[in-house]
Structures are given as structure tokens and as C-alpha cells.
Amino acid sequence: MKRTLVLSVLLATALSAHAESLPVVRPETLGLSSDKLARIDDVVEKFIAKKDLAGGVIAVARRGKIAYLKAFGKRNQETGEAMTEDTIFRIYSMTKSMTTAAALMLVEKGKLDLKAPVSGYLPAWREVQGHQW
């Protein structure tokens, strides 16, 4: 069975739980560009054409409103059933996704500076010397 990959720009999984209550608006009303969001279609369609992606749902939301929501590809390769915007996904290991979303929310609120040293937020890291990763 092929894996179905979900691409998300802001917690699509959490968004889908509340999508019915969130209004869909023109991206420009949220300071986003319809033209630039339309580029997502080409990128995802290329992944599907190359069979790197079976299907997915992408959502872009800002300020409690949906600017872009679209389903791509198949939700079931064997039956050919199309992906829908309300498809439910079984997703494992969400730690990195949730942490990233939380960090981006803090950046948006001006409470986290991605260019600041980690030690500004975690004082114990002041003593850490450069490591070879």
C-alpha cells in the first residue's frame, strides 16, 4: 500500500478539525497572494505525477481564516478514491510538526526571534561550546 503524505503549511491536521467553523476568504484579505499560493498546485501535482506522493491536503490559514484549502491526488490508490478536503489522516510522530507550528505562532506574535541565540531563551545553553554535529 502506498503511503499518503500530508503537506501542511499551518497544522492542517488541527485545521481540519475546525475547518467547518473557519471562513474561507480571498488570500489578499489576509495579506497573502493568490498567485503565489497557486504555485502550490504545480509543485504538488509534480510530486503526484512522479509518484513521490499519492495525495494530500494543503491548508493555509491566517488570523483564524482559511486562505487556501485544496485536496490533491488519491486517498486510496487501490480503489482510486479521490482525496477530499475532509479526509481523515492517521499521522504518527507529530512532535516536530507541533513544535514547529508553536514556534511559528510565537514568531508571528513577536515573542520568538529565530535569529537570536538559543541561550537567550534557554540560559543553560550559555555554557555550551561549539559542537561538531
| Residues taking part in catalysis | 93
Amino acid sitting at position 91: I
**Burial of 57 per CB tally in 10 Å (0-12, 13-18, 19+):** buried
